[in-house]
Every structure is written in structure tokens, then in C-alpha cells.
Structure 1
Amino acid sequence: MEAARTLFAWGANSYGQLGLGHKEDVLLPQSLNDFSCKHQNIKSIAGGGGHSAVITGAGELFVCGQNKERQLGLNHTEDVLCFTSCTALSSVCVIQVACGWDFTIILTGNGQVLSCGSNSFGQLGVPQTSGGCLIPQKIESLTEKAVNVAAGLRHALAATESGVVFQWGTGMASRANRASQGKIIPSFLTAKEPCKVTGLEDVKVKKVTASSYHSVSLTDEGELCVWGSNKHGQLVSKETFLVEPQKIDAHFFSGEKIGAVWSGWTHVVAQTAAANSSSLPPPSRRLSQIRRRKKKTQDEMFSEIMESSRSDRAHLNEWKETVSKYRKEASEREDRRDQREDMRDQREERRDARDERWRQEDQRRQDATLGLLREQTDMLRRLVELQE
């Protein structure tokens, strides 16, 4: 029988995304005992910009946190401080959930993909719904059975049973356009509904992951294909932006195949297929090895632990202040960077809108000029007819 799993949460909690029933930041891990006792078979967890999601072994989806953009799929827009069941999905089995910045992508047991939350950049894959979705909506245009999904800042991915990858959401488009310097970029970077990612025709993808402005796919051969922003070197390329997938050479991983991959905001973590935690000795054996190596008695070890605990308690307040200050500064830096990127995107959108207005105004002037010329021509024709 599998042992019960307990959820722990800590960190920023401005929207109740930790599920602890309040909005105070938490510096040390705290257990969600009530939720863990009621739902012991926790299958997976995910976190977005300000919301969190949990899937149980029974395929139930629980969500909490920020809900201003309807990202929790609870048919309202109020923040939720405790993990709450997504009742709109009570009749389906959820096998995976991916949380974007302000939206959520859900994969069901029958391979269907649903989405809810903000759709400002087409990240929900349902272009007919411009104002976002209060409850999860099926992405009808994704007709192939999906096996894996991912959500980035403003874009999403799905890998299908046949190994094809689809992408939607325009979050990467502005950076792609700047990097391409006027060249046409692939349609999947500007699509607001699932569009096949080109450049992966020779591989079969089994897993995808997404981040702020980059995407990663893992093939059935244990290879990684990456595309998007390489501003921080996360794609192992000399280019600043890869508009199409590029394979990372296996020699970077000592020739080993990759078994799992995850994306952070601007970094990537991969695990080789050979990695196996079962190769570690059990805790009792490790403790025995430590005792023999250091030749310490149980009393000496206990004294050392107690002394360490006293020292830790003495510096706890200082540590809290340091962590709080660092977290605040990091959050402010991240916010400033996001604001700069948003302002840049907004400037480009305003410029596009201005160009469109000018084009329409030019068209109106041309139409007015042509109309005037036609009227003058008609007048001249009538004058000629009268003189005749």
C-alpha cells in the first residue's frame, strides 16, 4: 500500500496560491494537512504566475490562488485561498495540468485538451473566445489525441499520440519578429489556435515543456529539440532566438539519452535516462555508513545535532530577514523586466494599430479623390452633351 503524501508550500502568497487559507507570504515550508488528509493519493502538482493546481489519483483537479483572469476555471473571478475542486471537470478524468502566467491547460484521459483563463494572446487555443474562459473549454481545433501539454508565459504546447507538436499563443511572436529582422516567421509562432510546429518532422515527440519565451520537446529517442528565446543561453545556441526547433547535441550530456526535462523561467533542467534513484542505499544504510566513516557514537551525533539546532534558532530571524529581502529584490527585478517587455510589446501593438489607421486613412483619401474625379468627369460629360 502506497504511503500517504503530504503537500508542503512556501514563498510568495499574495493571491492565496499556497492553498493555506490566507494571503501572507510564508518563509518556511508549511504542510497542507487538511487537504493531504482528505486527498492522500496526490498524483501531480503545478504552479503558474499566481495560481496552483493539484491532480489526485482519481483524476480530480483542485485549484487555488489568483483568479482575476478566470484561470482557475471555477466560473467566477474571485481569488481562492484553499484548494478547491474544479467542478466543471467532475465528469472527466484529468491526467495532466499545466499552469501558464494567467491561464491553465488541462489534459484529460481521453486525450482531449481544455483551457481556461486569459486569452489576450490566443493562449487558450480558442480564437472565437477573445475575453477568456470562466470554465475549461475544449480546444476543438486540436483533433488529434494529445499525450502531453505545457504552458508558458503567453503560449501553450501539446504533443500528440503520433509524436506531433502543436503550439498556440502569440507570446513569442514579438521577439521572433525582432530576431528575424523582417523575414517571415513560422506560422506556429503567431497562431491563436493549435498549429503544427515545423522542423520536427523527423522525430517523434513524447513530452513538451514551455517557459517565458522558449519551448522544449523531448523525443522518444531521448533527444531535446528547443526553440524560442536564447537570451540567457538556455537553448545552447549561438543565436539569440531560434524560430524553429534545433536539436541539442548529445555530447553536451556525455552522449547519454535524456529521460525527463523541465523548464524554468529562463533555464532548462534535464535528467538522463540512466538516472535511477533506486541506486541510492536506503536511509538506514546511509546512516550506518556515516557513523562508521566518522567514527562517532550515537551520543556524539545527538550532541552535534542539538548544538546545530541551537545555532540555527539563534540565526533564524536574521535568515528570515535575508531571505525576505532577497525575495523582494528578486521579485522587483522580475516585475521591472516584465514591465519593460510588456511596454515593448504594447509599443509594437500601438505602432501596428497606428500603421493600420494610416493605411485606412490613405484608402479613404484615395476613395474620396476617385469619387471627386468621377463627379467632375460626369459634370464635364453633361456639359459636352448640352453644348451638342
Structure 2
Amino acid sequence: MADRFRAVSIEELPSHLILEILCSGRLSAVDLVCLELTSKTFGGSNGLYPYKFRSLVDFAAFQLCVSHLSYSRISLNAQRELFDRCGGKWKRVLRFLQSVEQSSQMVETSAGNMQITTGKYHTFLTSNSSVYSCGSGLCGVLGHGPETTQCVAFTRIDFPPLTHVVQVSASHNHAAFVMQSGEVFTCGDNSSFCCGHRDTSRPISRPRLVEALKGVPCKQVAAGLNFTVFLTRQGQVYTCGTNTHGQLGHGDSQDRPTPRIVELHEEVGSVVQIAAGPSYVLALTDNGAVYSFGSGANFCLGHGEQHNEFQPRVIQTFRRKGIHVVRVSAGDEHAVALDSYGFVYTWGKGYCGALGHGDEIDKTTPEILNSLKSHLAVQVCARKRKTFVLVDGGSVYAFGWMAFGSLGFLDRAASDKVMRPRILDSLRAHHVSQISTGLYHTVVVTNRGQIFGFGDNERAQLGHDTLRGCLKPTEIFVLEIADDADPILESN
């Protein structure tokens, strides 16, 4: 009987079973590299597959790439070019695909799944389904109740039992949270209906379920200045709030007190990502097209003029050039996009060098950032007159306005301009997995689950109690205490 249940080593398992485990989809590209380096079983050929794959892990990485949605959506030529851009290494292709996928949601770190989200003067940290907030709590945006006007350290937000947060978005005075169930909660100033509730008599100081979206499971939210965009699991878009510039996408300028679906033509396809600027929206579809609507100020819509668009309109530059976009970011006065090859495009107002082209000239339509063409970008992040680009390997490039040190360069003054992409030496020792920037502060998460913040801390938006500002990225530590108490985050 004992022989029937004897322990076996991984080397004794059949190769096809090992391959099945490797291709389960639960492993990251980094996991595969570690397995390949630590075991001959994973690093050997085992005669199971064609000679062009150097190991079981290499073949597993190929299989995972082929089955990845983002990879399957691009053309065969694009797939081959991406493979070449990644040095002919399937593990690097997989790392690129996984990094882009996580860039607007939770990222996997050695300390668990995390997401960092910055608003105007506040920051939200999601760690293993719990959410913490710090900074200015005006209008209840931090979600801690009417008595909280500021949190000097990250404090856990109370949600109903058994709810798990998977994505957060925050703007000036309101925030939205997507649950694992697809439900959406919002809090903050609802005077413009941006929280999706009809009650506008007082701020919503604790997260409240958006009743109008019951039975409509969502996967992403994007908070604008005084409106909110909701993306469903079915690829449909809902909006609510102020509609002065057509930012709700319904073909008019009428405000909407509760979320209403944006009507899209059948040929548009399914929307896979959304981004909201102060008064405009970018919507990315599964076929790599970008649609924009709302305020045309500063050329943020990418159509070559500054007219408002009251319904989604495709950005023709990408379509004409056959560019398949995989991520977009909507800044205050400019926008950024990332394509399937890891190339970066910027457009909008060029003030302070926010577009990265070495000048302050406005770009009325998207233009590729030539100085970053040799790098494989995995995340783009735009905000007030500044831009961050995260590249494969965990390095961060930044350009635009220093904005009280929130650009992260230690050798530049607080109001300086950086006209071209420049690597952040202050973060070079770390592998950054995600970056988010507010009005005057920036926060990053590393692959080890470390959190670093820099820039203005006047309202404790970096989670430090005593510092007014951080020119140098300063780590924030999460100290887990008793289960029935809130974790405390302290600065070093």
C-alpha cells in the first residue's frame, strides 16, 4: 500500500505531464526562467518537441504566447516582428505580453498581487484584495468616513465581507473600485453624479455599491474630473456624470446621474481598455483601434483638430498606418499609447516637453517617440505635463515637467523641464513593475512588492507623516499587525 503513494521527484514525471503543468497558464515568464535555471528537467530538450526550441520551458513559453489573447489578436507579421524585437526569445515575448496585461490592473510581485493608483492629492494601494488610501480626504474620496479629511499613513478601507478589490481608479475628488465579482463601488464628491448615485445632497464618504450596474459585471473603471467610465467584462462601455464636452459619449451634452451604455457601431468590436482624462475618454478595442470622445482641447483626442466629439471616433493615424495599440493613457493635456511592438506614441499639448520629442510643439495626431524605439515599453503613464514609460527589464524613463520633484530626477530643480525621455537613475537599482503619477507626486511598485514614492507630500499623499516632499524615491513599508487591526504603513 505504501508503494502506491510513494513520493516521486519531478525528474520521474513524464515529459508530457511536465509540459502540461508548465502550460497551465499559472506561471509567469519569470517563473519559467527560474525553473529553467534550477533544473535539468526543465532546461533539457527531452526529445519532446522540434529542435528550434531549446528546452521544455522554451516550448512552454511559446505555447503560452500563442494562447495569449493579446498575441492572438495581432497579425502573423506583427507576431514575427515582436519575436524579433524580443531577441528571438519566447520567454521575453511572454514577459512583454504579461507585463502589458498587468500594467492597468494588478501586478504580480513576490509579496503578492498589488496595484498602485494616484489621484490628484491622494494615493490608493491595493494589496491582495485589500485597499489602503492616504493623502487628502476632502469629499470622502479616501473612503474612510465623513470625519476623515486627511490620512498621513495608508489606512485600510472597509468593504463588505467577502468582497475582493481587483482594480481602482481615482481622480480629483472621487474614486471607483471594481470587485472580483464584477460589482463596482464608488465614493467621494457626487455633486456631478460622477459616482453613479442619484443622491447628490452630500459626499459619499464610504464606498457604496453602484446599484445601476447590478447584473452588469465590470472589469475596469476610469475616473475623470467629474465623470466616470465603466468597462464591462463583455467589452461594453458605460458612463455617468457631467457631460459638458460630450465626455460621456452619448451624442449630446446632457448629464447622466447613473451609468448608461455608450452605443458603438458593430464594426467597432469589443473594448478591452479605457482611460479617462479630465474631460475626455480613450477606448481601446480588441482589434487595436483607439476611439476618443469628449473635449478636443489640447488635441488630446488625436484627430488633428480641437473640436469636441460627442460620440466615439476612431483615431485614423493608427488605423491608416496599421498600428495595433495595446495600451493607452490619458493625461491632463496630452495622451500616450503603446503598440504591439512596444513602441510609444504621444500627442496633445507639448508644453514642458511632456510629449518627449525634444521640443514644446503640440502634436495634433499621434507621433512615434523615436528616442525610445530601441526599447521594449510595457507601460505608459501620462498626467499633468509629464510622462513615464516603463520598459521591459523594469527600468523607467521620464520626461516633461519636474512638478515639485514628481518626475524623479535628483539633479534637476523642482520646476525644470526634461524635454526627452531619460532613464530614472534613482530607481535603477530596482525592477519596477508598475508606476502611477498624480498632480505632483509619483508612486511605483517593484517586482519584490516594494513601494517607492517621490514628489510633493504636502497632503501626505505619499504616505509619509513628517516629510513635506521627497526628491529621492523613498520606500514605504507595510507592517502587518494583528488581524483585527488595520495594517500600518510607515516611511523609512
Please, what TM-score do these two structures have when normalized by structure 2? 0.52
Task: Return the offset for 1:70.
Answer: 0.5
Distance in 2 between residues matched to 1:112 and 1:266, nearest whole Å: 30
Task: Return the offset for 1:127.
Answer: 2.3
Task: Return the offset for 1:6.
Answer: 2.7
Distance in 2 between residues matched to 1:58 and 1:188, nearest whole Å: 39
Q: In 2 relative to 1, CA 211–57 (structure 1 residues): closer, same or farther, beyond 3 Å?
A: same
Deviates more, 1:18-27 or 1:49-58: 18-27
For the pair 1:71 / 2:189, whether they are aligned, the reply is no
For the pair 1:92 / 2:237, whether they are aligned, the reply is no
Q: Rg larger in 1 or in 2?
A: 1
Which one has the bigger strand percentage? 2
Question: Which residue in 1 is equivalent to 2:167?
Answer: 44
2:259 to 112, 136, 155: 136
Q: In 2 relative to 1, CA 195–86 (structure 1 residues): closer, same or farther, beyond 3 Å?
A: same
Question: Which residue in 1 is equivalent to 2:232?
Answer: 108
Question: Which residue in 2 is equivalent to 1:211?
Answer: 331
How far does the alpha carbon of each residue in 1:103-161 deviate from its partner, in whole angstroms, 9 at most, with x for none? 11111011101110000111111123x33111111111354211111100111110111
Task: Return the offset for 1:187.
Answer: 5.7
Question: Which residue in 1 is equivalent to 2:369?
Answer: 248
For the pair 1:192 / 2:313, whether they are aligned, the reply is no
SS of the counterpart of 1:38? coil
Distance in 1 between residues matched to 2:134 and 2:448, nearest whole Å: 28
Question: Which residue in 2 is equivalent to 1:269?
Answer: 388
1:230 to 342, 350, 353: 350
Which one has the bigger helix percentage? 1
Q: Which amino acid aligns with 2:352?
A: H
Paired residues of 1:188 and 1:195 also in contact (CA < 8 A): no
Paired residues of 1:168 and 1:189 also in contact (CA < 8 A): no
Task: Return the offset for 1:176.
Answer: 4.6
- Structure 1 unaligned spans of 5+: 178-184, 287-318, 325-388
Paired residues of 1:155 and 1:168 also in contact (CA < 8 A): yes
Distance in 1 between residues matched to 2:345 and 2:197, nearest whole Å: 35
Please, what TM-score do these two structures have when normalized by structure 1? 0.65
| Number of residue pairs aligned between Structure 1 and Structure 2 | 276
Q: Which amino acid aligns with 1:141?
A: L
Distance in 2 between residues matched to 1:65 and 1:208, nearest whole Å: 25
SS of the counterpart of 2:196? coil
Paired residues of 2:281 and 2:292 also in contact (CA < 8 A): yes
Distance in 2 between residues matched to 1:156 and 1:234, nearest whole Å: 19
Q: In 2 relative to 1, CA 18–27 (structure 1 residues): closer, same or farther, beyond 3 Å?
A: closer
Q: Which amino acid aligns with 1:247?
A: I
Task: Return the offset for 1:34.
Answer: 2.6
For the pair 1:258 / 2:377, whether they are aligned, the reply is yes
Q: In angstroms, what is the RMSD of aligned CA positions?
A: 2.9
Distance in 1 between residues matched to 2:249 and 2:271, nearest whole Å: 14
For the pair 1:323 / 2:468, whether they are aligned, the reply is yes
Q: In 2 relative to 1, CA 208–53 (structure 1 residues): closer, same or farther, beyond 3 Å?
A: same
Distance in 1 between residues matched to 2:151 and 2:229, nearest whole Å: 29
SS of the counterpart of 2:332? coil
Paired residues of 1:260 and 1:273 also in contact (CA < 8 A): no
Task: Return the offset for 1:33.
Answer: 4.9
Q: In 2 relative to 1, CA 239–4 (structure 1 residues): closer, same or farther, beyond 3 Å?
A: closer
Task: Return the offset for 1:240.
Answer: 2.6
1:160 to 279, 285, 293: 285
Question: Which residue in 2 is equivalent to 1:62?
Answer: 185
- Structure 2 unaligned spans of 5+: 1-111, 114-126, 395-430, 434-445, 451-463, 470-492
Distance in 2 between residues matched to 1:48 and 1:153, nearest whole Å: 8
- Identify the structure with bigger relative contact order (alpha carbons < 8 Å, sequence gap 6+): 2
Q: In 2 relative to 1, CA 158–281 (structure 1 residues): closer, same or farther, beyond 3 Å?
A: closer
Q: In 2 relative to 1, CA 274–22 (structure 1 residues): closer, same or farther, beyond 3 Å?
A: same
Task: Return the offset for 1:239.
Answer: 4.3
Identical aligned residues as a percent: 25
Question: Which residue in 2 is equivalent to 1:332?
Answer: none
Paired residues of 1:125 and 1:139 also in contact (CA < 8 A): yes
